[in-house]
Structure 1
Amino acid sequence: MILVMRPHGDLACWRHILILCCVGALLGAVGARTCCKTDSARSVLWMPAMNTFRRLDANSDTKATYDFYSQILGFTPLETYDVGNGTDVWRIQAGASQIKLSRRNDNRTYVEGAVTDATGLRLWTFFFTDPGALLRNFTDAGLEPPAFEGTAPTRRWAADFVGLEWVGEEHDVRFDTTKHVFRHGATYVALMSFEKTLPADTGTGGIQYVVSDVDRVQQLAKCQDVSIIQEIETIPGYPVRTVWLEDPDGIINYFAETAESRGEEEEEEDIG
């Protein structure tokens, strides 16, 4: 999966923060640990991919969107979670990642329109091993089938799905701009700038990392002055502890620690 994000402000700063949160090496292990300004959360990133949230407005048909992902795109439907406060999370497995559909939060900003109309997480890209089957799904449902682009970038990026790293820069033909590509396992993040001031869409999309030690993530965030939207809490009814951070573009980066990821004997199958 590739997530294309629209960075707001200095790309160099954005890149530094992203690496700070996701790429470098952690210092310290057992016992009390110190926090260095150059430490990162890499050693506690447990799942080799990122999960993503897509938040739909009240007028959207969540079931129809869920059916499109599962029946037309062919992704695997998962159990829907009730996380409280009248919020259901509809989950779909796409390769190594999960896509999570939920209603919008009132405390975030949403901007309608095209990818180029705002900053934020506004474009999802998926790779398919059998394009023919996908095209048949569209045709059978009476939908116009998509057109596939060249596969050279796919082959190059798919050569190694281990770890998060700075992949490099390349020209994006579709938007005629340079994209800065990062990777975590099976998920890529591409940052693009259109050299103009845009409104910030901080609510449509979010990223989830599954980690082995959420306390360490919160410790790093506090000592490095990363914005914390919600400190560590447990999701009612689920053995999941989370901390919600905000990147320089205002996008929520949600770190989740599960029973399985923290090494407990009682393992769980899914992540809320």
Structure 2
Amino acid sequence: MGRMITTLLGTAALAAALPAAAQTITTPEGAQMSAATDLAYKPGELTPEQLSSSTRDLFAQDSMNVFRRYPREKTAEMVKFYTEALALRSLSPIQLTSTQQMLLTGVGSGQIKLSAGQQGNRKYDLSGGITGGTGIRFFLLSYPDKAVVEQRFAAAGFAKPEFVKRPDGAFQAQVTDPGGFPIVILVRPGAKDGSNDGVGVGISVSDLDKSRAFYREFVGLDELPPVEATLIGTTLYPYRHKETTLLLYHAGDNLPQDNGSAGIQYVVRDTPMVDAKAKHRGGIAVETPLNKLAGFDLVTVWLNDPDGVTNYFAQVGPNSRTAQQARATK
């Protein structure tokens, strides 16, 4: 996946070894970015308290964005599934390269991003469904009316979801998108249509203690009480930022890894600060080092959680597409 850097020490060594003309970084989605070493904080600029705190106070959006990578030949079906069957808002795509688009769908203040192509040396294994491996294994979307959901699926040419009643009285169904990724549909009273009041992201982890510490202490999400998911047969450990909740769970030992099919994006006010905090902690794998894309008014750093799940942090300036779309929806 572009230039895979697994340690911060390796990033520094590589940057020092390359000439200035070679400081171009390819993101996992194929965008050509410039290394942003000039934006990095210098030693001594930040206090120990700043460096050791979580990234939470840097968040600039009331949700996290999530993305789905899928086989390119499934693009038309994927768009139909997410915008017609699931009724997510269709937003203008981002043209990353001459051949690569990021298709965007709106969910509340956040987005589910659809990226055609399974780039690089990421691992893709959705066999076994929700409990068949580690990585992001499902999205949870909520709706107020079961009959409307069924009608939308039928109208879009997809099989109707088979709902079952949960112990709490809500209805739940599990479907898969055309790329084979599970979607859990929850129908409950008071939910906003199109899941516009929130998205759940199910992450199967190999070590609960390590993953919970990463999302609680480094990312800084709200840790909520565990939830018994009887229909899945496991305990979920929720970590929330306003509209988006990550649902961590352990499905077994020595499971296949999928760290490519889906990932998480945080919109932040200061990406170089995130970079500095990760370097200070040590042990956080870097997928794509600190970089910038002037035409998009964007600065990002791509980090990995303990199971290799992409956690990328994006600082968007006032002229970025993300900022313009946020203003347009207010």
Please report the TM-score for the alignment, with normalisation by the length of structure 2.
0.64
CA 1:44/1:118 → structure 2, altered by over 3 Å: closer, same or farther? same
Cα pair distance change 1:110/1:236, threshold 3 Å: farther
For residues 214 and 93 of structure 1, the distance between their equivalents in structure 2, rounded to whole angstroms, comes to: 23
Q: Which residue of 2 aligns with 1:24?
A: none
Q: Answer with 1 or 2: which has the greater Rg.
A: 2
The one of 87, 108, 122 aligned to 1:74? 87
How big is the shift at 1:52?
A: 0.6
Structure 1 counterpart of 2:153: 138
Identity %: 30
Structure 1: distance between partners of 2:143 and 2:269: 30
Question: Counterparts of 1:85 and 1:193 in 2: how far apart (Å)?
Answer: 40
Q: Is the 8 A contact 2:52 2:277 kept in 1?
A: no
Give the aligned partner of residue 182 of structure 1: 239
- Asked if the contact 1:168–1:182 (Cα under 8 Å) also holds between the matched residues in 2, the reply is no
Q: CA RMSD in A?
A: 3.0
Q: CA shift at 1:140, angstroms?
A: 2.6
- Does the C-alpha gap of structure 1 residues 112 and 212 become closer, same or farther in structure 2, counting only changes over 3 Å? same
Alignment of 1:268 with 2:324, yes or no, is yes
Partners in 1 of 2:77 and 2:326 — Cα distance? Answer: 23
Residue ranges of structure 2 left out of the alignment (5+ in a row): 1-43, 171-185, 192-196, 199-219
Instruction: Tell me, in whole angstroms, the C-alpha distance in 1 between the residues paired with 2:169 and 2:56.
Output: 29
Q: Residue 92 of structure 1 is aligned with which of 81, 105, 108?
A: 105
Q: Which deviates more from structure 2 when the two are superposed, residues 103-112 or residues 205-214?
A: 103-112
The separation in 2 between residues aligned to 1:112 and 1:134, in whole angstroms, is: 25
Contact 1:242 1:255 in 2 (8 A): yes
Report deviation, 1:39. 1.0
Change (3 A) 1:141 1:205: closer
Matching of residues 1-272 of structure 1 within 5 Å: 32-36=45-49, 38-58=52-72, 60-84=73-97, 86-102=99-115, 103-113=117-127, 114-148=129-163, 149-150=165-166, 164-225=221-282, 226-235=284-293, 237-260=295-318, 267-269=323-325
Whole-Å separation in 2 of the counterparts to 1:136 and 1:75? 15
Matched residues in 1 for 2:273 and 2:52: separation? Answer: 14
> C-alpha distance in 1, partners of 2:75/2:244?
24
| Gap change, CA 1:48 and 1:250, over 3 Å in 2 | same
Task: Looking at secondary structure, tell me which structure has more helix per residue.
Answer: 2
